């Protein structure tokens, strides 16, 4: 396989995850939504919305105004995004990232053609960024 290189590392911490039923009330809520949504995903039978924790009170109010009770709500999440073409195409590269972050409680790994994204507790984000930068960018700079 060709060499894969991380060209940048982005991160976001202090994120809330709201799990909502993907029903007509939720669709109406999204039409009225005015806060930035960092990420969203349809997972199993729920719509997951990832938003900055600073919006928690406002989002809770918006949910109550639409008669929606979240299936689950969780705070303290963070994301580390490795940017570089083809990173996810190499299983050995994924294994290396998993080895480097083995003690950081990574909950989810996702990918695109140009990125590899880790979801982990917010308290581990800075350490993950520093280690991954040292190990994956430091050697190529």
**Residues 94, 64 share a domain:** no
Q: What is the CATH number of the domain that holds 123?
A: 3.30.70.260
pLDDT of residue 56: 96
User: At which of 74, 89, 119 does a domain end?
Assistant: 74
The whole domain housing 117 covers 8-12+77-140
pLDDT of residue 91: 87
pTM of the model: 0.89
**Residues 130, 101 share a domain:** yes
| pLDDT tens digits for range 73-86 | 999 999 999 998 88
| pLDDT tens digits for range 5-28 | 889 999 999 999 999 999 999 999
pLDDT of residue 139: 54
Distance CA 92, CA 100 (A): 12
- Sorted by sequence, the CB contacts under 8 Å of residue 58 that are 6+ apart come out as 35
**67 to 17, 29, 50: CA distances (angstroms):** 18, 10, 20
At residue 88, does pLDDT exceed 90? no
* Number of structural domains the chain divides into: 2
| pLDDT tens digits for range 117-141 | 999 999 999 999 999 999 998 854 4
| pLDDT tens digits for range 35-71 | 899 999 999 999 999 999 999 999 999 999 999 999 9
Distance CA 105, CA 118 (A): 10
**Residues 65, 120 share a domain:** no
CA 73 to chain centroid: 15
pLDDT of residue 5: 83
**Residues 109, 134 share a domain:** yes
């Amino acid at each position: 396989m060709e060499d894969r290189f991380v060209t940048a590392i982005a991160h976001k911490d202090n994120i809330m995850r709201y799990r909502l039923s993907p029903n007509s009330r939720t669709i109406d809520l999204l039409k009225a939504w005015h806060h930035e949504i960092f990420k969203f995903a349809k997972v199993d039978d729920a719509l997951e919305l990832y938003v900055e924790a600073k919006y928690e009170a406002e989002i809770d109010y918006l949910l109550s105004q639409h008669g929606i009770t979240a299936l689950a709500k969780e705070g303290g999440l963070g994301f580390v995004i490795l940017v570089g073409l083809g990173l996810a195409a190499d299983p050995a590269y994924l294994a290396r990232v998993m080895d480097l972050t083995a003690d950081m409680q990574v909950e989810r790994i996702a990918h695109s053609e140009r990125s590899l994204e880790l979801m982990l507790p917010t308290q581990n984000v800075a350490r993950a960024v520093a280690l991954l930068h040292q190990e994956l960018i430091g050697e190529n700079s």
